[in-house]
Amino acid sequence: MLSVKPCFAKFDHGMVSPTYDVIDFWPLLILMISSLGFYKSTLYIMPDFEPNEHMLTKYASKGTQKWEIFAWCVRDAMAKAGDFKVVDDLTIKDKLRYNEFMKMETDQCQINQQVYFAEDSKRD
């Protein structure tokens, strides 16, 4: 529960997005280098963000512990400042399962009670 200085980067890119989501680092680097496009990134540094009782009370529904509420508030502030669309609130375990599925390390993935299968895998 210490003060933090939120920072985020925004990228302008050509045909290949430089975000490190699903594709491994080396294939991504090769695609970026071979795309012959120009890449520009801008680093945004926000003012210090300090936890306070008002925030913890007002957003108490966003977590069960103080650090969870504070983390949600910082994420929300960064999303608003960067004009980022917050699609969902998946857990890190869900994101790792999705990452494994997209890298074809597994042939099925369950997220939010929904099971997804690879096209050529057998469904029981």
pLDDT in tens, 9-49: 887 766 766 666 667 788 888 887 787 767 778 999 999 99
Check pLDDT > 80 for residue 53. yes
**Rg over CA atoms, the chain:** 19
Number of Cβ atoms within 10 Å of the Cβ of 49 = 16
Check pLDDT > 60 for residue 122. no
Q: Would you state the structure tokens that stand for residue 29, as one six-digit string?
A: 């680097």
Lowest mean pLDDT among 18-22, 61-65, 87-91, 100-104: 18-22
Closest listed residue to residue 114, CA positions, set 83, 90, 92: 90
Backbone φ, ψ for residue 55 (5° rounding): -60, -45
Backbone φ, ψ for residue 108 (5° rounding): -150, 160
Check pLDDT > 60 for residue 124. no
Check pLDDT > 60 for residue 68. yes
What is the residue-averaged pLDDT of the chain? 83
Number of Cβ atoms within 10 Å of the Cβ of 70 = 22
Residues 6+ apart with CB under 8 A from 101: 107, 108, 109, 116, 118
Model pLDDT, residue 21? 65
| 1-16 confidence digits (pLDDT tens) | 889 999 998 877 667 6
Q: Mean pLDDT throughout 90-100? A: 80
Residue matched to tokens 């108490």: 60
